[in-house]
Structure 1
């Protein structure tokens, strides 16, 4: 579930622009239950078009409550993702 989504625009993206997207973890709880993921949109010369940040958590859809991800998702996916330069734990 997403709690917040923010986009900061830095440069115009034109119809013929090539866009490269990187995805990194900005913040994460030790159990990977809550997190911030940062997407950077850049052109072929590494100029920044936009930064999209999302804060979220895993949810148990049956209980309708925040939940921890499976250990495999936490270890193999969330904790294995590249980190931002200002990465912190929650």
Structure 2
């Protein structure tokens, strides 16, 4: 696997369900947070998305839950790109959610693309966005896919 992008997140009391472990929807929220953090840290800011009238959208989001996460756990998420068209217009990403540095608690897969927010149609991102997306660490099984 290439370089790793990780982000620590905090388990808040409001993130817990009645069984005192992490609510299922929090995993998805954390994934979105990590993806947006990567983009923002690399120059794709919300204001730039508005300027270009483009934004990322999801077609599929799936989480495999492996171990429960509780209030006092230390949690870290990774970000990898698993598949992409060469123009970075369509992609699949993966997050691994680790607790206490050594326990894989969940794996989140997403399929996404770029949306022209003015035309409300799928779009190819600007060259600068493609370069940033190409810098996302690639998974061991990364593949380039053909545009459809």
TM-score interval for Structure 1 and Structure 2 normalised by the shorter chain: over 0.9
| Alignment-derived partner of residue 81 in structure 1 | 136
Distance in 1 between the 2:138 and 2:72 partners? 30
Higher relative contact order (CA 8 A, sep 6+): 1
The answer (yes or no) to whether the contact 2:92–2:111 under 8 Å persists in 1 is: yes
Segments ≥4 residues shifted beyond 3 Å: none
Larger radius of gyration: 2
Aligned length: 89
> What SS does the corresponding residue of 1:11 show, helix, strand or coil?
coil
> What SS does the corresponding residue of 1:74 show, helix, strand or coil?
helix
Structure number with the higher helix fraction is 2
Q: Are 1:5 and 2:75 matched, yes or no?
A: no
> What SS does the corresponding residue of 1:28 show, helix, strand or coil?
strand
Structure number with the higher strand fraction is 1
TM-score by length of 1: 0.93
Distance in 2 between the 1:26 and 1:18 partners? 26
Distance in 1 between the 2:82 and 2:135 partners? 13
Give the aligned CA root-mean-square deviation in angstroms: 0.9
Shift of 1:62: 1.3
| Alignment-derived partner of residue 14 in structure 1 | 70
Alignment partner for residue 42 of structure 1, among 75, 98, 101? 98
Q: Structure 1, unaligned stretches of length 5 or more?
A: none
Shift of 1:61: 1.2
Distance in 2 between the 1:44 and 1:55 partners? 28
TM-score by length of 2: 0.58
